[in-house]
Amino acid sequence: MANDILIATTENIPGREYEVIGEVFGLTTQSKNIVRNIGAGLKNIVGGEIKDYTQMLIESRDIAIQRLRDNAS
């Protein structure tokens, strides 16, 4: 049932009927291991995207959205 819940970042969804159930949220925090943190620190010196952190943010967002769905259901 949780995966059937519509998640939107807008107040109105044209052409859709839905019930507002109130405020729900999903949160998570994550950290990388020491080796990856050192690598990210070195990348910070030379600049550019820290791909490990980008991947960590993607994973965190996905977990948070699933928790939001679970809390809503």
Residues 30, 56: contact at Cβ < 8 Å? yes
pLDDT higher than 70, residue 61: yes
Domain ranges of the chain: 2-72
What are 18-28's pLDDT values in tens digits?
A: 887 777 778 78
Whole-model pTM over 0.75 = no
DSSP track, 34-70: HHHHHHHHHHHHH-S--HHHHHHHHHHHHHHHHHHHH
Quick one: tokens of 71? 């809390």
pLDDT reported for residue 1:
65
What are 1-54's pLDDT values in tens digits?
A: 667 777 877 778 899 888 877 777 787 877 777 776 776 777 667 777 777 888
Can you tell me the distance from the alpha carbon of 43 to that of 18, in angstroms, rounded to the nearest whole number? Answer: 46
